Chain A
Amino acid sequence: MSTSTTKILKQAMNIISTIRSSYSTATAVSISRHCEDFTGTPPPVNLLTENELFFADTVRKFSKDVVKPLVREMDKYSKMSPIVTQGVFENGLMGVHVPEEYGGSGSSFFNAMIVIEELAKTDPSVSAMVGIHNTLPVSMIIDYGTEEQKLKYLPRLCSDSLASFCISESGAGSDAFALKTIAKRDGDHFLISGTKMWITNSGEAQVFVVFANADPSQKYKGITCFIVERSADGLTVDKEEDKLGIRASSTCQVHFDNVRVHKSAILGEYGKGYKYAIECLNAGRIAIGAQMIGLAQGCFDQTIPYLQQREQFGQRLIDFQGLQHQIAQARTEIEAARLLVYNAARMKEYGIPYVREAAMAKLFASQVATSTSAQCVKWLGGVGFTKEFPAEKFYRDAMIGEIYEGTSNIQLNTIAKLIDNEYKWKN
């Protein structure tokens, strides 16, 4: 084969991979058809299998019986009830897609999204605790852990130990890789020093997946991921943040003061932490989308019955056309958001590139959660403004959706960049 032919082939392959990495819908469909070897029409994305329906039903029952009676108290005191924490572990909600041999449910990423959505319909705080545990630290260990690490940590994380994902810092929020936490090599060990902020689950977590720069001269390419036990000397967790929403979900600063860890605590490869973080956070965005559609649906579900009962001017509130149109619009937006989230989750499951879809799902679902919960407060009128009705709590909880795991502007940046890539090759 001549050099020029090889060159042309290489260019062609680059173009194909760039187009694929721009995640156009056409590409996604062709890949998914190829993956599944579909001969007929693929099923609707929101058509759940018997098993998925079973998961949803089980979590719904758990939420109704165990979580719902404790929601207001947990919100008031900013404290997750031990009954709930124990319940999510006992019912297998903390290792949804962990293989059975490591003590998990052995299910799928999509089922994890269903769990997150269902929990959020009752309490987005519980959904945040379960969702972040499953999709960030636990997923990291499944994907990048050594066999030894998997055997050591996964059974615990499925049965009784909460985990945290430590990447954000005061100066590294949206700009995640500007992190200042360092891991200084000391023989076969590393000394981790720095402070992490806004760390979900950190109040109760027993295991921390920590991103630190082991070689600042390499900039982001020095970022390495470590598994650190809560019992490690020099690790301290600050007091809980007093938050607007998802108050029962613990959020604290975590300080590392020369925390000594053995090199065997490195998760994945040295210097590859930035890659892992990107991968993991992309999946995490789908999970936030799932949480937000659950929140929107839960708020909507608890508002409509009131509008059917409350009468003004001789008719039910739901009979006023002005209100009907708003309700129909909100429900349509929830459904559209759900389709985006489910589609992104299915794509991840089929091994199809999903970065754009994840960003869109997270962006839109969080916007819908904010708008739906705000509307519900207004539809309820005076009672919606009180803590007697759950709408105000859903409204407060919704605010975080457009902030954590990549703000709405970060999602828009990602989507725009991918659109730019996509159209470069179309002209």
Chain B
Amino acid sequence: MKILVGVKRVVDYAVKIRVKPDRSGVVTEGVQHSMNPFDEIALEEAVKLKEKKLATEVVAFSLGGPKSAEVLRTALAKGADKAVHVQVTDAEAGKLESFHVAKALQKIVEQEKFDAVFLGKQAIDDDSSQTAPILAGLLEWPQALYASKVEDAGAGHMKVTREIDGGLDTIKVKVPFVLSADLRLNEPRYATLPNIMKAKKKPLKNIPIKDLNVDITPQTETLEVTEPPVRQAGGFVDDVSALVAKLKEKGFVKA
């Protein structure tokens, strides 16, 4: 099984997000970026499957500006065998949508004959959760979304446990398939220093977006980005009767 793993460069999860003064987006200049945490989990699962001899090759994919090469280097250091960087300008990268990413992934899958595509369940910048299902639709492959466990089911099938609102849903999917990784699927490893050095020798292929014939014209327009409303400070009351009076006053308690 040859696995393609999508990895996205996003503002680091620990960074406090600031909205641009013109409300056109969030500040990304001079801000720490890293690999999308859910993509790290997807990558870890692919590498684990390779270690278990259930996968033969793991290839990392990123669609983005020049700096997306950083997350691909990280992916190589964490166990990917090769990397593919589909290149766009920084300006174009800021306007990419799930559909564009899915189309680019589809082209790479068809060119390189992959058996599975592993993605994070969502990117922590746009929170769309759309790329995996769109890709499954484009490829006409089964999908296993929000995966928290992946096992070999034999005879060209995989058993996937999914996290759903009602609990856990276990499904059997036929390979080739698309998987999206949830938080509890695994604990991603660190890129060890020897592997960082080895990553320098692994191939990283650059493909300009135009070579894939993927139209990345935006289909949506961001009208405004705003901060969530600031939480109002609470107040103190002296005793229970004062609390009840306050709740009545606010209309939370009927007399």
Contact = CB atoms under 8 A, between A and B. Distances in A.
Interface stretch (B48-56, B191-199, B244-252): B191-199
Interface stretch (A89-97, A188-196, A200-208): A89-97
A263 B73 CA distance: 46
Q: Which 7 A-B pairs have the closest CB atoms?
A: A92-B193, A105-B193, A92-B192, A92-B194, A105-B194, A91-B192, A106-B197
Which of B73, B192, B196 is packed against the most chain A CB atoms within 10 Å? B196
Given A50-B70, A54-B74, A90 B194 contact: no
Nearest to B69: A50
A106 B194 contact: yes
Interface in B184-236: 190-197, 200
- Which of the four size classes fits the interface of chain A? 20 to 34
Nearest to B14: A64
A107 B197 CA distance: 7
A129 to B, nearest CB: 16
Nearest to A96: B193
Contacts of A350: none
Contacts, number: 48
Interface of B: 34, 70, 73-74, 77, 190-197, 200
Given A54-B73, A55-B193, 18 more contacts: A51-B196, A54-B77, A54-B191, A54-B196, A55-B196, A57-B34, A58-B192, A62-B190, A90-B192, A91-B193, A92-B193, A93-B193, A104-B194, A105-B192, A105-B196, A106-B194, A107-B193, A111-B193
Contacts of A107: 193, 196-197
A120 B193 CA distance: 17
Nearest to B73: A54
B200 A61 contact: no
Contacts of A51: 196-197, 200
Contacts of A90: 192
Contacts of A54: 70, 73-74, 77, 191, 196
Contacts of A95: 194
A43 to B, nearest CB: 19
A45 to B, nearest CB: 21
A296 to B, nearest CB: 21
A115 interface: yes
B197 A50 contact: no
A91 B190 contact: yes
A186 interface: no
B193 A50 contact: no
Nearest to A54: B196
Nearest to A112: B193
Which of B191, B193, B195, B196 is packed against the most chain A CB atoms within 10 Å? B193
Contacts of A100: 194, 197
Nearest to A94: B193
Nearest to A62: B190
Interface in A67-94: 90-93
Nearest to A66: B190
Contacts of A50: 70, 73
Contacts of A104: 194
Nearest to B200: A51
B31 to A, nearest CB: 14
Nearest to A64: B14
Nearest to A89: B192
A115 B192 CA distance: 12
A368 B60 CA distance: 43
B191 A58 contact: yes
Contacts of A93: 193
B139 to A, nearest CB: 33
A54 B197 CA distance: 10
A96 B77 CA distance: 15
A95 B197 CA distance: 12
A390 B197 CA distance: 33
Nearest to B78: A58
21 contacts: A50-B73, A54-B70, A54-B73, A54-B74, A54-B77, A54-B196, A57-B34, A58-B77, A58-B190, A58-B193, A91-B190, A91-B193, A92-B195, A95-B194, A96-B193, A105-B192, A105-B193, A105-B194, A106-B194, A106-B197, A115-B193
